[in-house]
Amino acid sequence: MIRFAEVFALAARLPGQVFREPQGDSLFCEYDAVLAPELWPALREMARWHGDDRVELLVPGASRAVSLSVHADEDDYWTAIGHGSDDEFLDSIAVSADVVAVTGPSGKWGCWGERGPEIAVFRGFPDAAARDGWRERFGPFLDAAGAVESYVWMALGGRGPVPDEYAAALAENYGTG
């Protein structure tokens, strides 16, 4: 297992800066998408860009972790984080984790997701062309402003606008695209 604390500020929460090294483009998706087998190819792609042979997932504060080879498939990912029966439902990371951190041994990329605001942020794209191709292939992914409008707003139950302070902090920490 890699040292997650070198990649992430494990006690931080969104809209604060969760990455130790905040440079680079960011893209957002819905939190639950990170915990769905359909996103496994996107995580695997990020790992491969940086020469990682594994994808590591941590549930901060719960000391639960998963390590999968980049050769694993969607079913392997779901077996590791999901649930196969009603008995496993509440113990599964996909159901019980409120925060997840995902990266590889290189520590050059990462995904941080939180159930509260219903968003996950990705960083570590080699360049703009790779980011744009990844976004098109695996999306939908949005910039910080789009995440506020589409995902965070819905996490509030559509009961009003996202607080200006939250939106400003997310934009400051993760750019606008």
Helix (H, G, I), strand (E, B) or coil at 16: coil
The reported pTM is: 0.92
Give pLDDT, residue 24.
Answer: 76
Number of domains, the chain: 1
Domain containing 72 equals 4-174
Give pLDDT, residue 132.
Answer: 95
d(CA 104, CA 4): 9
Give pLDDT, residue 3.
Answer: 81
- pLDDT tens, per residue, the chain with 177 residues: 568 999 999 999 999 999 998 677 899 999 999 999 999 999 999 999 999 999 999 999 887 899 999 999 999 999 999 976 566 656 789 999 999 999 999 999 999 999 999 999 999 999 999 999 999 999 899 999 999 988 897 777 666 688 899 999 999 999 855
